Amino acid sequence: MAAQIIDGKAIAKEIRKALAEKIKVLLEQGKPRPGLAVVLVGDDPASNLYVNMKKKACKEVGIYSEEHRLPGTIRQNELLGLIDNLNSDAKIHGILVQLPLPKSLDEQEIINRIDPAKDVDGFHPINVGKLCIGEKAFIPCTPAGIMHMIDTIEYNPSGKKAVVIGRSNIVGKPMAQLLLQRNATVTLCHSKTKDLAAECRQADILVAAVGKPEMVKADWIKPGAVVIDVGINKVGTKTLGDVAFEQAKNAAGWITPVPGGVGPMTIAMLLNSTVNACESVFY
């Protein structure tokens, strides 16, 4: 039987609708309008596209947003200075530095400079640490969106075997933490994993965050598994995931498409975190 498709686009639309209503109520109560600053350094086309999508989404729900587009030649100190200004700007509740930054910049130092209370991406070590010890914190938007999708299909990870492929700080590691918090038994795989296919075949929940088009084959999937495809791979004019979707959908129980799966959820979670930042939910 073909898998049920987890429609991230539709779920994200519901989240945006609820946020728009929430913001309307906040403003009626005399509360400030949530504000997001997006910092983009250099001219990477993919980053440029993501920033435009985030700006459009902010506008749609009523979040104030401002962009800081900076040349790739910007110096570390200038960028740190901008972060300091945004940290003390009362109309800005969330700060997002679009990654990756050019190699000439020290990315971690920039992230460390963001006020943890405005770190809507959840990349600051304080938020990373809080996530690891199970305290409320800003959580990276992609894994947060994935957990929301798993909840939407009413799948309980407790006691299930979860396999996450990819150990980036942005997706893989926080994803593993979130699944662990929900009592899944988690295996975190990476490029040095010995027999990736065998690991995947045991997974009730399989999250692929690698960046290799259609790497995960149908016969790697345990029948009935929840398959979450994070990958965004441009191949010619097509956008492909990390999972060979057409074949995999006959093996999985649930599967996310690319595009229209994890991507829209990531943006919806960013909006949600910005509203939480404005309401000082975690700090």
Complete DSSP assignment for 187-217: EEE-TT-S-HHHHHHT-SEEEE-S--TT-B-
Query: Please, which residue, 168 or 247, has the CB nearer to ligand NDP?
Result: 168
229 is catalytic: no
Q: HSE, CB side, 13 Å, CA atoms: give it for residue 266.
A: 24
Classified as helix, coil or strand, 38 is strand
Query: Please, which residue, 256 or 276, has the CB nearer to ligand NDP?
Result: 256
Compute the 3-state secondary structure of the chain and give helix, strand, coil in percent, each to the nearest 5.
45, 15, 40
Contacts of 270 (CB under 8 A, 6+ apart): 36, 54, 57, 94, 96, 120, 121, 141
Q: Which of 54, 118, 160, 173 is catalytic?
A: 54
Whole-number minimum distance, CB 47 to ligand NDP, in Å?
Answer: 11
Whole-number minimum distance, CB 59 to ligand NDP, in Å?
Answer: 19
Query: Please, which residue, 74 or 165, has the CB nearer to ligand NDP?
Result: 165
Whole-number minimum distance, CB 7 to ligand NDP, in Å?
Answer: 14
54 is catalytic: yes
Q: Which of 98, 118, 173, 249 is catalytic?
A: 98
Backbone angles phi, psi at 2, to 5 degrees: -70, 145
Please, are residues 251 and 223 in contact by the beta-carbon 8 Å criterion?
yes
Query: Please, which residue, 42 or 263, has the CB nearer to ligand NDP?
Result: 263
Query: Please, which residue, 35 or 172, has the CB nearer to ligand NDP?
Result: 172
Report the amino acid identity of residue 84. D
Whole-number minimum distance, CB 101 to ligand NDP, in Å?
Answer: 13
The pair of three-digit structure tokens given for residue 44, joined into one six-digit string:
């990477």
Please, are residues 21 and 273 in contact by the beta-carbon 8 Å criterion?
no
Please list the residues that pair with 67 across neighbouring strands.
Answer: 38
Whole-number minimum distance, CB 10 to ligand NDP, in Å?
Answer: 16
Query: Please, which residue, 22 or 212, has the CB nearer to ligand NDP?
Result: 212
E strand map for 62-198? 64-70, 94-97, 161-165, 185-189
Residue 146 CB neighbours (<10 A):
30
Whole-number minimum distance, CB 220 to ligand NDP, in Å?
Answer: 11
130 is catalytic: no
Q: Which of 119, 121, 229, 242 is catalytic?
A: 121
* Cα 248 from Cα 19, distance rounded (Å): 34
Q: Give me the residues that bind ligand NDP (CB under 6 A), please.
A: 142, 165-168, 170-172, 189-193, 196, 209-212, 230-233, 262-263, 266
Residue nearest to ligand NDP (CB): 168
Catalytic residues: 54, 98, 121
